[in-house]
């Protein structure tokens, strides 16, 4: 078993970064190794807004993900108030992780990704590539001021 963590700063306000990364309908466009992600059930009522759940309660969604050409069942928990997205996938590698968006300064965020797996792959290198790709994608696609 191994735990891995990597962080980067991103020149985007935390609320904007969080909105992009917590939008499950568009998450695959931000994470390079994630080919597709589809909900396998209706959007839960707790996803309708903070008034529909307890403070800091996760919105749990079961998903089907495509990674490297293979489909896997998984889950995602989104905790809006804490800007935390946790995930896991079924399979032999006990793979799960979380991403956290933190405030650094006006217009700057810190993105941290933690992964737990028993896979023997080069996870640290993949985390760095993932963070670099997210940073480039998000900074490049910022809304422009009118």
For residue range 8-37, list pLDDT tens digits in order.
999 999 999 999 999 888 888 888 778 888
- Those residues whose C-beta lies under 8 Å from the C-beta of residue 86, and which sit 6 or more positions away, are 58, 76, 77, 79, 96, 97, 98
- Residue 100 included in any domain: yes
Single pTM value for the model: 0.82
Average pLDDT over residues 78-103: 88
Q: Considering its fold, how many domains does the chain have in total?
A: 1
d(CA 138, CA 140): 5
Give me the chain's average pLDDT, please: 84
CATH number, domain with residue 112: 3.30.530.20
pLDDT reading at 133 higher than 80? yes
d(CA 131, CA 142): 17
Residue numbers of the domain that contains 88: 2-44+54-140
- Residue 49 included in any domain: no
pLDDT reading at 48 higher than 70? no
Are 79 and 56 within 8 A, CB to CB?
yes
- Residue 146 included in any domain: no
- Residue 145 included in any domain: no
**Which pLDDT score is estimated for 146?**
42
- Residue 61 included in any domain: yes
pLDDT reading at 83 higher than 60? yes
- Residue 118 included in any domain: yes
């Amino acid at each position: 078993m191994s735990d891995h963590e990597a962080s980067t700063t991103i020149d985007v306000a935390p609320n904007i970064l969080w909105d992009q990364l917590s939008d499950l309908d568009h998450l695959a466009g931000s994470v390079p190794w994630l080919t597709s992600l589809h909900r396998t059930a209706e959007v839960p009522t707790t996803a309708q807004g903070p008034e529909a759940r307890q403070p800091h309660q996760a919105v749990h969604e079961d998903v089907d993900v495509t990674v490297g050409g293979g489909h896997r069942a998984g889950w995602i928990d989104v905790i809006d108030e804490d800007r935390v997205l946790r995930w896991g996938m079924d399979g032999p590698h006990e793979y799960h992780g979380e991403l956290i968006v933190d405030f650094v300064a006006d217009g700057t965020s810190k993105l941290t990704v933690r992964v737990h797996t028993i896979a023997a792959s080069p996870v640290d290198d993949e985390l760095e590539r993932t963070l670099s790709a997210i940073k480039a994608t998000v900074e490049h696609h910022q809304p422009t001021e009118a």
